[in-house]
Structure 1
Amino acid sequence: MLQLIVLLAISWLLIWFFQKGNLSVLGLIPTKSRMKYFAVFFIVSALAAASAFLLRMYFAKETYTFANALTTNAILLEIWYQCRTVLTEELLCRGVLLYMLIKKAGQTKAVIISSVVFAVLHWINAGVWGNITQMMIVFGFTFAMGLLLAFAYARTFSLLIPFAIHFGWNLVQNYIFPDTASGNHIFILAAPPPTVTISYLAFFTMLLLPKMAVLVINFIIVKQHKQVEMP
């Protein structure tokens, strides 16, 4: 919680020092329209993320079951952890810095710069620094996701919109299903998956379709959102 307070304080100082503005530029105040779009983007992203595991069940014959140690307190704590992590990344990679970049350099350059920072940050978070192949793979998706998230903010001037996309994807990928070997999850592998042989088409469908879905569907919805005037 302290890191969010510090980031918000730094954001306020930056926007006040450079423009005598305030944190209203983040668009964090819920409105009927923002919450409607928040729900849509969250659901689309969560379903796209979940489809990755449904495809793994179908092609790789993986089976999942509920974790034994689930408690209400543990679930709420993990949801808060995922929420805090996503909000931290949004404040760092978008937020006030993206707002000022849009104002100084224009929307296109600002979105690209923000996306590069977002991708590089994930090199560090994912622990792939130095492994060129892994760095390229991580950069490819996180840069594309960064473009979507930055464009969503630039279109709506509300951090709630990229947060909804980001949070929906991360919550399913990082907590609901076991995309990583460590940490707590709602679902866990019921048994070691059997060795199966699948075609290249099936492999790339399983690997890429969910990522393409979260990017393309959300982009179409963002594009249809009326451009909000810059605060």
Structure 2
Amino acid sequence: MIGIVFAIALSWLLLYLTEKQSILALGFLPVAKRLKQFSIGFLLTGTLCVFVHYLEAYLKSSTWVLNEGISSATILHAFWWDLKSVLTEELIFRGALLYILIQKIGHKKSILISAIAFGVYHWFSFGVLGNVMAMIIIFTGTGLMGYAWAWAFSKTKSILLPFGLHLGWNFMYNTLFSKGPLGELVLISKGGNELTDWASLLNFVSGMVFVPIIVLIFVKYFVKKETEIKVAAE
């Protein structure tokens, strides 16, 4: 929680010093509209995450079963963990720095820089630095997704749509399908076989290429480009 408070405070300071803007420049208003954007983003990537994991189960001939030891308190704790980690990353990669870059050098270059930074960051967060093949795979998937989310920020002039897109994926991935660092949570994979080469490739493409492309298509064709409303710092 301290990290989020620090990130918000630093973002506010950067916005004020460079653009004479408050934290509201990141597009938190109007509330109803931004919550709608957040919800749409959450549902989209959440649904895609479900599809990817049931495709994986089909390819492996495995099943997802409910963890009988799970409790509502554990789920809430996991959701809070996902929320904090996602919000922190959004404030870093789709927050004040991206806003300032867009003002200084334009949308296209800023989105690309944000995407590259997001991809490189995941080399460290996933612990794959030095493993060339893993670095390429991680950079491809997270870089494409980072590009889509930065583009969503640019078009909506708000952090809420990328926040929803990011949280929808992470919550389903980490909490629903127990793929995160918190261990076994809502669903557990049972049975199944090792994936063959082609099945492994299909599984990789579905999660690391197919999902970002679908999100990019959504942002390109279904997200309306908004006019920025300057909000002066108080």
The TM-score, its normalising length taken from structure 1, stands at 0.91
1:194 and 2:193 are equivalent in the alignment:
yes
1:209 and 2:206 are equivalent in the alignment:
yes
1:220 and 2:217 are equivalent in the alignment:
yes
* Contact 1:48-1:211 at 8 Å conserved across structures: no
Q: Which residue of 2 aligns with 1:28?
A: 28
Question: What are the ranges of 5 or more consecutive residues in structure 1 without an aligned counterpart?
Answer: none
Q: Report the Cα distance in structure 2 between the residues aligned to 1:63 and 1:30, rounded to whole angstroms.
A: 43
Q: Report the Cα distance in structure 1 between the residues aligned to 2:127 and 2:180, rounded to whole angstroms.
A: 13
Structural RMSD (CA): 1.9
Offset at 1:195? 4.7
Q: Which residue of 1 aligns with 2:139?
A: 139
* Contact 1:11-1:96 at 8 Å conserved across structures: yes
Cα distance 1:143–1:4, how it changes in 2: closer, same or farther (>3 A)? same
How does 1:1-231 map onto structure 2 within 5 Å? 1-29=1-29, 31-180=31-180, 183-191=183-191, 193-195=192-194, 198=196, 200=198, 202-223=199-220, 224-230=222-228, 231=230
The letter of the residue matching 2:213 is V
Q: Report the Cα distance in structure 2 between the residues aligned to 1:97 and 1:203, rounded to whole angstroms.
A: 37
Offset at 1:133? 1.2
The letter of the residue matching 1:227 is K
Q: Report the Cα distance in structure 1 between the residues aligned to 2:218 and 2:33, rounded to whole angstroms.
A: 14
The letter of the residue matching 1:203 is S
Offset at 1:74? 1.0
- Residues paired across the two proteins, number: 228
Offset at 1:174? 1.5
Q: Report the Cα distance in structure 1 between the residues aligned to 2:178 and 2:80, rounded to whole angstroms.
A: 18
Q: Report the Cα distance in structure 1 between the residues aligned to 2:139 and 2:28, rounded to whole angstroms.
A: 28
Cα distance 1:195–1:141, how it changes in 2: closer, same or farther (>3 A)? closer
Offset at 1:190? 2.9
Offset at 1:170? 0.9
Q: Report the Cα distance in structure 2 between the residues aligned to 1:145 and 1:131, rounded to whole angstroms.
A: 21
Question: What are the ranges of 5 or more consecutive residues in structure 2 without an aligned counterpart?
Answer: none
Q: Report the Cα distance in structure 1 between the residues aligned to 2:11 and 2:55, rounded to whole angstroms.
A: 41
The letter of the residue matching 2:31 is T
Tell me the secondary structure at the aligned position of residue 65 of structure 2.
Answer: strand
Offset at 1:194? 3.3
* Contact 2:67-2:187 at 8 Å conserved across structures: yes
Q: Report the Cα distance in structure 1 between the residues aligned to 2:194 and 2:100, rounded to whole angstroms.
A: 51
The letter of the residue matching 2:225 is Q
Offset at 1:181? 7.4
Cα distance 1:90–1:2, how it changes in 2: closer, same or farther (>3 A)? same
* Contact 1:98-1:110 at 8 Å conserved across structures: yes
Alpha-carbon displacement from aligned partner over 1:177-199 (angstroms, at most 9, x marks no partner): 133576242111234x2356x47
Q: Report the Cα distance in structure 1 between the residues aligned to 2:97 and 2:189, rounded to whole angstroms.
A: 41
